[in-house]
Structure 1
């Protein structure tokens, strides 16, 4: 079989849930505070994936305005019972402190593109839920249990309870069937049945550098569950030099001819500070069932950078330049997402005669409503560019190009105004980018005056951990650098503060703090991958 290089889904694609229906594989990943919620990809060969659905796409299913960074949609589980697709997911509304508000829901659909049903609320006792369809027709809801009384380790085990498919309500007794291993932080459960055994695959060790996939099994659904003889079937925690780090949170899938694979999240750190700007990505590993009826990863528990898959991937598409010309259609390309709001008409529109119009709302760091449209960073090094028309009246109106991780971690080259109504370019940034982390420090760069009218071309280039902004006043003019080289490595999970789980994005934004809905028009957006040293794809 062809040898394919991991990850199969580069950039921010964590918590994979994978299934096969007939000869088609489906893979769902978390989206956290980015809207629409949940990305579902499909493939016929495990090597080439295309986006098939973004099911949480309306207000009745998801409204994340006010959700903190790192909250929102965690760890969806996609399954199929022979008739319908079932999607189980958590909407995290509060994640810091002793309590967590982790609301679990289920939706269903006759096919992957929908229509998806309205949601059924299940519980809020923990997160990372999954659904197991037993061979007797019964359905079982599984999720980790959060115990706020346990101050050192509130991860209190894996709970199983029956689900009534007619009412989508939990029925009957519930039982904590697995308390995890000594590494703790037991979450991300998936349940399977094979040769009379119930297998429970969990994620442990936290989703940083001690992450694992832990397997246990029992002859009875209710347990007791014995742990795999190797405990962790997949982990990078003992190999700091492995190319794929932070490996864990997996799911198992079989091919039609009986081969077995494990989809799992992982990260690829850059520089010696081991920062993961691409966030948590999705890879595949070959696996096999031993004579002892235990699952083993081929080669070793440490995930391999390359894997044999049924299909061959043409990596030229990965390295191709993306040019998004706004106005050629009325739909925003599915590469783009926005933050939190289920009412995109309040933050952007596309007009055939104009382009992409961003309607100025709150500041770029808001947890409520901001006009920010962006796509994932999927390469360690790339160039991005856009052209905008924007006529600010003062410093409270700004629009431009942003490299964005969260409200605490972003860089933003914006066209804005002055007290006298003139236009200028200013590099805006999160507090983390100031030399000593103090708001009293000097600005990142002095503002650059620009003419009061006319389009402005904005660009950035990222080379691993270095970011450089540039600009031009005409489409034919050469780009001119603005500001110093900035530390792009802060756009990473490691720098996002507690509960940072996403990845870097790049895109366009517009704010109007005067409340007049001042709009910016963007003609196009380009994303150009760049081959650069140390690129591990």
Structure 2
């Protein structure tokens, strides 16, 4: 038995298909670059990263997008020899408005290259494409209603897409409404029915999946009286927040859904999910009434499915597809000093624009991250080190910088929605310095060299702390700042992230 998740760590909003003899999953990346993670599998059990769809700066400009803005809920499909990906870029999240745009990219091979984005509309997030049997294509997305006194989740819109003209045609039609929060719609056809698979109840602990169906593409749709999947009624569930999924069918006719979920730990005042929302797999079957049900019964996610170990394989340090940067590519120099990564300092860790940071997703709460840094800061504005990062309001930074009276010093900077704490600075000798972070559930111990130690926790590096709409997950990696001249450089080597 393997234990879900099939994609551990920050991999939310999965969309999945079977095409060309394999399975593909696309997941949200929000403010991180490159955009839209893609994983492939031959057997639904062992998954390998194949890169990202939006990996060129001209495809994706995220400078200035808020935390948890950026790329939301991609939906992948395959038709007419092409792979299709639709996705949202969210630029405003506060207040009643959602400033966003929906786009389409296509590729002959999911490993790329993917086309430049085609703009579609801006009426609401979570788009998906339905390829009808008559050859026509339709875009679905949420109808966001910002007006006072209106329910913001204003139903599901349907509009035809003409790929020859590279644009939507006709007028959008509202085909489904609900008093519940319904989003993340995927449309498919079976036995004369059109089915909507919908993410229900918001993306927190009330999350779920529910079906609706109609004999007519444009409705009206009847809603399944039972949820297909949710863990909202089980506070002791192994998988919380279960929802936002898509149906895939194997070559031998078995059905599965991929869906998001979380594995929280109990924090100081409640459950905390520093790993973010991950991707899970459930087998489903059709019942006699024409509704999908979990194969194991009930509606709560089952934590295991037969197979082999699905953990990502080790990647070259700083160079594999698991390495990500914030809001755009970072100038990573891997050639000036063989075996080392060189970064030039940019803006602070609070910046929404230009950070010099490379991280990878934390996939376990029992692990150690370590790196050797070679940095000689000469000003207090020059800093480099190891960072455990959630977003601009939640991180721990084991940093090396300069103090006018003590020279080179190391210390821990912790940021939470409550503010910034500096845990103490201590002199360190010149030359390469080993830094590490040992994670044990929600506790993390930082070390610099052989003698320096700081303790902190991951309580604030989770979806549940701070401003609403925190959607990502904790990452770990390296960063450099030069807040005065943008010239300071630091080198890193021997990065290791190992489970314990």
How far is 1:152 from its partner? 6.3
Q: Of 353, 375, 397, which aligns to 1:368? A: 353
How far is 1:96 from its partner? 1.2
How far is 1:438 from its partner? 5.3
Matches within 5 A, 1:109-120: 109-120=107-118
Is 1:394 aligned to 2:379, yes or no? yes
- 1:100 aligned counterpart, secondary structure: coil
Is 1:464 aligned to 2:423, yes or no? no
How far is 1:350 from its partner? 4.4
Residue deviations 1:45-82, cap 9 Å, x none?
00000011311011221010111100010000000113
Matching residue of 1:188: 184
Is 1:512 aligned to 2:489, yes or no? no
- 1:467 aligned counterpart, secondary structure: strand
- 1:201 aligned counterpart, secondary structure: strand
Q: Of 288, 298, 321, which aligns to 1:334? A: 321
- 1:494 aligned counterpart, secondary structure: coil
Is 1:237 aligned to 2:232, yes or no? yes
Aligned pair count?
A: 497
Contact residue 239 and residue 262 of structure 2 kept, 8 A? yes
Matching residue of 1:11: 9
Matches within 5 A, 1:90-489: 90-151=88-149, 153-180=151-178, 182=179, 184-230=180-226, 232-271=227-266, 273-298=270-295, 299-308=297-306, 312-314=307-309, 322=314, 324-325=316-317, 332-342=319-329, 344-345=330-331, 348-351=333-336, 353=338, 355-420=340-405, 422-432=407-417, 437=418, 443-451=421-429, 453-472=430-449, 479-483=450-454, 485-489=455-459
Alpha-carbon spacing, 1:348–1:95, altered in 2? closer, same or farther (3 Å):
farther
Residue deviations 1:149-184, cap 9 Å, x none?
04563110000010001122111232111112x4x2
- 2:77 aligned counterpart, secondary structure: strand
Q: Distance in 2 between matches of 1:108 and 1:496?
A: 37
Q: Distance in 2 between matches of 1:110 and 1:314?
A: 30
Contact residue 29 and residue 36 of structure 2 kept, 8 A? yes
Q: Distance in 2 between matches of 1:286 and 1:26?
A: 16
Q: Distance in 2 between matches of 1:37 and 1:116?
A: 11
Alpha-carbon spacing, 1:189–1:405, altered in 2? closer, same or farther (3 Å):
same
Q: Distance in 2 between matches of 1:286 and 1:470?
A: 44
Which moves more between the two structures, 45-54 or 420-429?
420-429
- 2:26 aligned counterpart, secondary structure: strand
Contact residue 394 and residue 421 of structure 1 kept, 8 A? no
Residue deviations 1:375-416, cap 9 Å, x none?
100001111111111111111110000110011100001000
Aligned CA-pair RMSD: 1.7
Q: Distance in 2 between matches of 1:277 and 1:154?
A: 28
How far is 1:325 from its partner? 4.8
Contact residue 140 and residue 160 of structure 1 kept, 8 A? yes
Q: Distance in 2 between matches of 1:364 and 1:350?
A: 26
Contact residue 405 and residue 496 of structure 1 kept, 8 A? no
Q: Distance in 2 between matches of 1:289 and 1:352?
A: 58
Q: Distance in 2 between matches of 1:411 and 1:262?
A: 36
How far is 1:291 from its partner? 2.0
Q: Distance in 1 between matches of 2:490 and 2:135?
A: 54
Alpha-carbon spacing, 1:456–1:123, altered in 2? closer, same or farther (3 Å):
same
Contact residue 98 and residue 151 of structure 1 kept, 8 A? no
TM-score w.r.t. length of structure 2: 0.96
Contact residue 348 and residue 371 of structure 1 kept, 8 A? no
Structure 1: gaps (5+ residues): 327-331, 473-478, 531-537
Matches within 5 A, 1:26-37: 26-37=24-35
Residue deviations 1:347-378, cap 9 Å, x none?
65544525101110001121000111001000
TM-score w.r.t. length of structure 1: 0.90
Structure 2: gaps (5+ residues): none
Contact residue 45 and residue 309 of structure 2 kept, 8 A? no
Contact residue 406 and residue 427 of structure 2 kept, 8 A? no
